Structure 1
């Protein structure tokens, strides 16, 4: 890229933006950015890399900069407006990503959920065998000299992923989500179809997803899963409290036994997709096996810590399918403990559109606590509340506030899972503080 230029990121703390800034910084480019002053979990990586983070101010925009604008900010944002007035080159995040992946073997991971975990796993495996750039939706990014591969999260929100044309795509699922943008499920499918049309070498898709089975592409489509109709199939699956073990069969050929230190059926599926892409790129199978064994997970995806006698899990789950997968993973690892879910619904539109799904998924926990709905800047209010979910679940659920966590503190030797995409971590922090104080 243009190493004599300074890249200025408007909204640098965003998960994709911070990852992209880290890649450019690793490549030797000058990078800085601006954002709100409130702390974000992506901040530490940027600060550790020595990247300057400024408060928003149009005076941050100077001659000679290339400006990368986060997708959360409109063209009337003072910095973006100033950059355009000065005639600077301005890219939207997804547009620049399309440029960034060029000159590598690129793999985009798409799906309504499962993207971040699968991207992290593939980045880990390929980095262990070849020079690999990667951009993960947990804010992690890395650029290496002469990268052979570029692994990135391909986000379907507002059809952003269609700005990229990867060599391969992994597609984990297509569900209705982002009701503030997509009209219905068919609208989401049409976005994935557009993306599929742009893939060059091959698509690896989950075989159980009826919407993924509808896709067509000039690149071959390979399906992965647990059934005989799948091209890449996991058989003899053994799920224990230490992780999961399975054999992989590709078109009748047994590729051997693989083990992952991960929990939940979705983790077996994610690993299958990673094995498939690696196999197509002729990565040595024994190396794939050994790399899978050392994966530690990604930020805010089933992150575990122990506080006194409580196991606390932090997870980004904010869609019914994700909640179900997280609870399934917790049951596998902790079959003899009570599973307590603390969930913060994310946006009024999603809560209303997916209400029944939230009720059925959350009901898989032994006890459910809900916080008030986290409203995004895109919508200030809506005719739905967390009480509506509690009323449908019944006696096994209740509302909590950050100032009153008494009911949650009654549990002993349990697994407490904090789930959500908003500021659920403030509830987790308050809970940990009170747990420590109460013992």
Structure 2
């Protein structure tokens, strides 16, 4: 295949960075532009030898194919220059769709669990067959002779409607973006539209009533722990070392599988991976080995030892995610005290899920709530972190000046959760302890 020069406008965006790495790995020349502020996607791009420039229309040269990030309009100077030169300009979704339609593709969608499931499927398939993958946390890998393309399909602002994959995994349908969707029916409608674009089959979590209401044109195989599920996990054993279970497709036993991951959601994610592998006739013994090798995704239950405590960093920012993270911590550390430090992400989200946050966080032994990480675009309304604290018996507020409250814990698990800048609280806690 002819090699090209790709120029990414907004190359540091998580999806854009992933796609840039895929196209680079396939032997193309890749470069791009972005703001100068450092981002977590930057290091891996530079390490791969991908050049990052400041925005400048003079960067655009004849012969380039320009990929336009979602945040940029046609009036952006580099995009304007590309059109003046008559270059091919592709939107980010159109560029991803090109990969989707060129391979056996699997798009992973769901309000929760899509990054973890995408990473797990990518890891497993890549070890067995040539696979390219795009994960929503900025990780991407291209393989020149790839059989599979595994990608994260995000429902936010209906981004996933750009894609027509062979298979879809749907982990759940939840009302997770109150700033875009009107209600749960609105979200389900989007998933149904996406489902109608799938070519071969859908794998969906069997306990989700909204996923059972989908009206689509391909078979839906449900996975879970119920007798009625097509792909089933039975005889589940959860220990501090991970989980082991027997997997069945209807009455056919696929094998006994072990994962070194925690929480019931991890078992479900691995079942979805097994389902795809089974349908594509991938060797189950190989799959078994690779599932046991997988160690997780950054910002999902990432552990560090801080003094005599276990510190866990997790992106959880919805009640169901918080519940899953605390469940995972209880499985791995059944005898330790579980302390949650939660940063509410946006005023609108806190208002929408106030009771849900309270119910999920109450499963920890002690809870600390930081000030809200707000968006400059949103109306603050009349909600505050104190409204959440009032609903959780064993909770109190915490901020950058009172992080020493955490120094009273020993041999405990301290979980920092949130989608804003929760890392600054983690850094402050480590700094205080190290002093």
TM over 0.5: yes
Alignment correspondent of 2:4: 4
Distance 1:42 1:212, change over 3 A: same
Aligned to 2:320, the other structure's residue is in SS state: helix
Distance 1:343 1:62, change over 3 A: farther
* Distance apart, 1:57 and its partner CA: 4.0
Name which of structure 1's ranges 268-277 and 299-308 shifts more when overlaid on structure 2.
299-308
Alignment correspondent of 1:38: 37
* Distance apart, 1:276 and its partner CA: 0.5
Aligned to 2:296, the other structure's residue is in SS state: coil
> What value does the CA root-mean-square deviation take over the aligned residues?
1.8
Alignment correspondent of 1:286: 285
For each residue in 1:410-430, what CA deviation from the matched residue of structure 2 results, as whole angstroms up to 9, or x when unmatched?
211111111112211111112
2:101 and 2:164 in contact (8 A); partners too: no
2:404 and 2:429 in contact (8 A); partners too: no
Alignment correspondent of 1:435: 433
Q: Distance in 1 between matches of 2:27 and 2:56?
A: 25
Q: Distance in 1 between matches of 2:233 and 2:256?
A: 9
Aligned to 2:102, the other structure's residue is in SS state: coil
Aligned ranges 1:235-274 → 2 under 5 Å: 235-274=234-273
Alignment correspondent of 1:376: 375
* Distance apart, 1:300 and its partner CA: 0.9
Distance 1:112 1:149, change over 3 A: same
Alignment correspondent of 1:67: 66
Distance 1:151 1:400, change over 3 A: same
Name which of structure 1's ranges 63-72 and 309-318 shifts more when overlaid on structure 2.
63-72
Alignment correspondent of 1:150: 149
Distance 1:252 1:350, change over 3 A: same
For each residue in 1:193-215, what CA deviation from the matched residue of structure 2 results, as whole angstroms up to 9, or x when unmatched?
00000111110000000110001
Are residue 165 (structure 1) and residue 164 (structure 2) matched?
yes
Q: Distance in 1 between matches of 2:81 and 2:432?
A: 47
Distance 1:364 1:403, change over 3 A: same
2:57 and 2:77 in contact (8 A); partners too: yes
Aligned to 1:398, the other structure's residue is in SS state: strand
Aligned to 2:390, the other structure's residue is in SS state: helix
Structure 2 counterpart of 1:404, from 399, 402, 405 = 402
Distance 1:78 1:376, change over 3 A: farther
TM-score normalised to the size of structure 1? 0.95
Aligned to 1:102, the other structure's residue is in SS state: helix
Q: Distance in 1 between matches of 2:31 and 2:52?
A: 6
Consecutive unaligned residues of structure 1, counting only runs of 5 or more, are none
Aligned to 1:403, the other structure's residue is in SS state: helix
Consecutive unaligned residues of structure 2, counting only runs of 5 or more, are none
2:7 and 2:30 in contact (8 A); partners too: yes
Alignment correspondent of 1:414: 412
* Distance apart, 1:58 and its partner CA: 4.2
Q: Distance in 1 between matches of 2:16 and 2:190?
A: 22
TM-score normalised to the size of structure 2? 0.95
For each residue in 1:115-169, what CA deviation from the matched residue of structure 2 results, as whole angstroms up to 9, or x when unmatched?
0000011011101110000011121100011100000000001111111100000
Aligned to 2:321, the other structure's residue is in SS state: helix
Are residue 193 (structure 1) and residue 192 (structure 2) matched?
yes
Distance 1:412 1:82, change over 3 A: farther
Are residue 47 (structure 1) and residue 46 (structure 2) matched?
yes
How many residue pairs align between the two structures? 435
Alignment correspondent of 2:423: 425
Q: Distance in 2 between matches of 1:50 and 1:377?
A: 35
2:404 and 2:432 in contact (8 A); partners too: no
2:4 and 2:65 in contact (8 A); partners too: no
Name which of structure 1's ranges 161-170 and 81-90 shifts more when overlaid on structure 2.
81-90
2:237 and 2:244 in contact (8 A); partners too: yes
* Distance apart, 1:75 and its partner CA: 4.7
Distance 1:75 1:340, change over 3 A: farther
Alignment correspondent of 2:343: 344
Alignment correspondent of 2:27: 28
